Amino acid sequence: MDVATLPVIALLGTLIQSGLGFGFGLFFVPVAALFVAPREAVAVSLLLGTVVSAGMYAEARPRTGLRAIWPLVVGAIIGSPLGLLVLLRADESVLRLLVAAAVLVSAIANLTSGRGHTHEARPDPVVRQGLVGVLGGVIRGATSMGGPPIVLYQHWIGGGAERIRGRLFAYFFWVGVPATLIIVPSGLFTRDVLRDTALALPALLVGLVGGRLIRPHIAERWFGRLSMLLLAGTSVLAAWGAMRAILG
């Protein structure tokens, strides 16, 4: 494999996440899996995604503190092992297909509503945040697709692109670090994974700088549409992959 391939994919994924607040893993995994084994693509994405989330959270201004989204984070951490239990009792491909279908329907509904995401922020009570966090954690543990429910929820809460991005940056940072540490003993992060991760790190730095320059130029009216288009596109890819696995 060309040593420049994964860094280029990582650069594009970083630009996407920097602009929309999410999307690194959703973009990186299916594209990188065309060049390396899917398991390696997921492992590299987990490590690079944690670095990307840390970098974006560190440079975000104004920065959303943990206090504003702690119920989401706690809920996700609680929900992740519950998702693993679901995975042990159900077929992962069927679960991924159901989640992808639900995300696709939600994204299309948001795209066709015509309302946009520039409305004043809705109330965001602790209990509701916690429940959404648990849902995201369960889906993450069962299918590794825990991001879209959180993204959809933040767009429903609204309050403008800066607020949504800031909360997503904070959420993915605070959830990503413990989630990655939990995986370390599993042996997923092999020598090849660490090598590919190291090769892609410079591309992340370029992407972080480029994303910071591009972010202000994403018009408010396009922010929600681009986010929903990304969710819709990646959910179609996930559904296609799940159907292929189910049909053998």
Q: How many residues are given for the chain? A: 248
Q: Are 23 and 11 in contact (CB under 8 A)?
A: no
pLDDT of residue 42: 81
Full domain range(s) for residue 161: 5-247
Q: CA-to-CA distance for 206 and 194, rounded, in angstroms? A: 20
> 113-134: per-residue pLDDT in tens?
655 555 678 889 999 999 999 9
Q: Which two tokens stand for residue 13?
A: 């994924």
Q: Which residue has the tokens 């991005």?
A: 165
Query: Terminus-to-terminus CA distance in the chain, angstroms?
Result: 27
> 88-99: per-residue pLDDT in tens?
788 878 888 888
pLDDT of residue 114: 53
pLDDT of residue 129: 95
Alpha helical stretches, state H, 144-219 = 147-157, 161-183, 191-214
Q: CA-to-CA distance for 76 and 67, rounded, in angstroms? A: 15
pLDDT averaged over 10-residue windows placed end to end, the chain, 248 residues: 82 92 87 82 88 90 90 92 80 83 84 62 92 91 82 91 92 88 81 93 93 87 89 88 82
Query: What phi and psi, each to the nearest 5 degrees, are found at residue 42?
Result: -65, -45
Q: Which residue has the tokens 């989330």?
A: 53
Q: Please count the structural domains in the chain.
A: 1
Q: CA-to-CA distance for 26 and 148, rounded, in angstroms? A: 9
pLDDT of residue 206: 94
Under the phi-then-psi rule, with left for phi > 0, alpha for psi from -120 to 50, and beta for the rest, what region is 158?
left
Q: What does DSSP assign to residue 189? A: S
